[in-house]
Amino acid sequence: TRVRPGSKRCAVIGGSGFLGRHLVEKLLDRGYSVSLFDIRQSYELPGVTFHQGDLCDKQALLSALKDVSLVFHCASPAPSSDDRLLFERVNIQGTQTVIQACLDAGVQKLVLTSSASVVFEGTDVKNGKEDLPYAKKPIDYYTQTKIEQEKLVLEACNKPKGFLTVAIRPHGIFGPRDPQLVPTLVDAARRGKMKFIIGDGTNLVDFTYVENVVHGHILAAEHLRADSPICGKPYHITNDEPIRF
Ligand code: NAD
C-alpha cells in the first residue's frame, strides 16, 4: 500500500544543526511530518514538532519518537570541541540510548550520519570504497567515537525484530548556512594563513554539497527494507550526478 503524503512521520535527532535543518526541510517537501529532537532550537517551521532534550536521556527521546517509524540520527558535539568525555557520552553512550529508545518505541528504521573519517588512517585514500577497514589509529577523539557509534548502529540491524539500520558517511559538508567549513577557510585566508601547499599541490579533498548529503540520507531511508542489501551497511557519499528526486 502507498503511504499518503502527509501521513509519513519521522524524527530527526540533531535537526537544529546545519545538516539536520536541510534534512528536515527536504523531508517536509517530500510530505513527511517531522518530530525534531535537539538540545537547542534554532528555527520553527510548520509541520515540525520540536522536542528539546539530550539524546542521552531515553525518556526525553521516547516522547519525540511516539508514532514515528523512521529516525535520522545526525546529532554530534562539534569536532572542534575535542572534548573526549563529551564525545564518548554523546556519540557512544548516547547512541546506545537512541537505539534502545527506537526499539522501545517500535521504530522500524534508523539512518545514522557517520563520517568518511572512520576509514582515514592518516594516509591518502583515493576512490576509497566501503570495504576499507575502520581506522586503527583514528585521527582524533571525535573520529574514534564516530567509529564506535557506527558499529553500534550497524550491529543493531535486526531483520527478525523488524529494526533496520544504515549509515551514511559524508566527508566535509558545504552549502547554505554552513557554520564551519567554508567560514573557517575564509577566516584562515583573511588572516594570511593559507599561503602554503600541502604535498605537491595536486592533493584532492572531498567536500560534498549539503543537498547531496540529504539526498543520500533520504534514498537510504526509503530503500531500507528487510529484503534490501543496504541493511546494516555503511555508504560513502559524495558529489556526482546532480540531485534529482
Ligand atoms: P551541527 O553541529 O550543525 O549539528 C549537530 C546538532 O546536534 C546540533 O544542532 C546540536 O545541538 C545537536 N546535538 C549535539 N549534542 C546533542 C545532544 N547531546 N542531544 C541532542 N542534540 C545534540 O553539525 P552538522 O555539521 O550538521 O553535523 C551533523 C552530523 O554530520 C554529525 O553527526 C556529524 O558528525 C556528521 N558529519 C558532519 C560533517 C560536516 O562537514 N559538517 C562531515 C561528516 C560528518
Nearest-atom number in ligand 1 for the CA of 180 is 41
- In the prediction, which pLDDT does 4 show? 45
Best probe residue, ligand 1, of 43, 76, 169, 211 (max atoms within 8 Å of C-beta): 76
Rounded CA separation 15/27 (Å) = 11
Average pLDDT over residues 163-184: 93
Distance separating alpha carbons of residues 163 and 110, to the nearest angstrom: 8
Residue 126 has pLDDT above 90, yes or no: no
C-alpha of residue 158 to centroid of ligand 1, in Å: 26
Phi-psi region of 66 (alpha: psi -120 to 50; beta: other; left: phi over 0): beta
CA distances (Å), origin 13, targets 37, 52, 102, 235: 5, 10, 12, 20
ipTM: 0.99
What are the residue boundaries of the structural domains of the chain, listed by start? 8-174+207-236
Indicate whether 110 pLDDT > 50: yes
Average of per-residue pLDDT values in the chain: 92
132 vs 128, more confident: 132
Give dist(CA 4, CA 115) in Å, integer. 33
Distance 99 CA to ligand 1 centre (A): 17
Residue 206 banded pLDDT, cuts 50, 70, 90: confident
Instruction: Please check the confidence at residue 49 and state whether its pLDDT lies above 70.
Output: yes
CB 44 within 8 A of CB 81: no
Residue 70 host element (H or E): strand 70-73
Query: 130-150 pLDDT, tens per residue?
Result: 999 999 999 999 999 999 999
Average pLDDT of span 161-166:
97
Q: Whose CA is nearest to atom 18 of ligand 1?
A: 54
Looking at 134, 142, 209, 235, which residue is catalytic?
A: 142
Q: Tell me, yes or no, if 142 is annotated catalytic.
A: yes
14 alpha carbon – ligand 1 mean position (Å): 6
Query: Cβ distance 94 to 37 under 8 Å?
Result: no
The domain at 8-174+207-236 falls in which architecture?
3-Layer(aba) Sandwich (3.40)
